[in-house]
Amino acid sequence: NAGVMQNPRHLVRRRGQEARLRCSPMKGHSHVYWYRQLPEEGLKFMVYLQKENIIDESGMPKERFSAEFPKEGPSILRIQQVVRGDSAAYFCASSNPWTSRTDTQYFGPGTRLTVL
Amino acid sequence: GQNIDQPTEMTATEGAIVQINCTYQTSGFNGLFWYQQHAGEAPTFLSYNVLDGLEEKGRFSSFLSRSKGYSYLLLKELQMKDSASYLCAVRSYTDKLIFGTGTRLQVFP
CB neighbours of A80 closer than 8 A, spacing ≥ 6?
A: A18, A64, A65, A66
pLDDT score recorded for residue A102: 73
Interface of A with B (CB under 8 A): 4, 31, 33, 35, 41-45, 48, 55-56, 58-59, 91, 93, 95, 97, 102-110
CB neighbours of B94 closer than 8 A, spacing ≥ 6?
A: A48, A55, A56, A58, B28
Q: How far apart are CA A61 and CA B97, in angstroms?
A: 17
pLDDT over threshold 70, residue A100: no
pLDDT score recorded for residue A1: 53
pLDDT over threshold 70, residue A99: no
With cut-offs at 50, 70 and 90, classify the pLDDT of residue B1. low
pLDDT score recorded for residue A4: 95
Gap between the terminal Cα atoms of chain B: 41
Q: How far is CA A17 from CA A75, A83, A86, A110, B49, in A?
A: 20, 9, 12, 20, 42
Q: Residue A14 CA to chain centroid, in angstroms?
A: 20
CB distance B33–A104 less than 8 Å?
yes
pLDDT score recorded for residue A98: 73
Q: Does B94 touch chain A (CB under 8 A)?
A: yes
pLDDT score recorded for residue B93: 86
Q: What is the pLDDT of residues B27-54, one digit of tens each?
A: 889 999 999 999 989 999 999 999 999 9
Question: Contact at 8 Å (CB) between B87 and B99?
Answer: yes
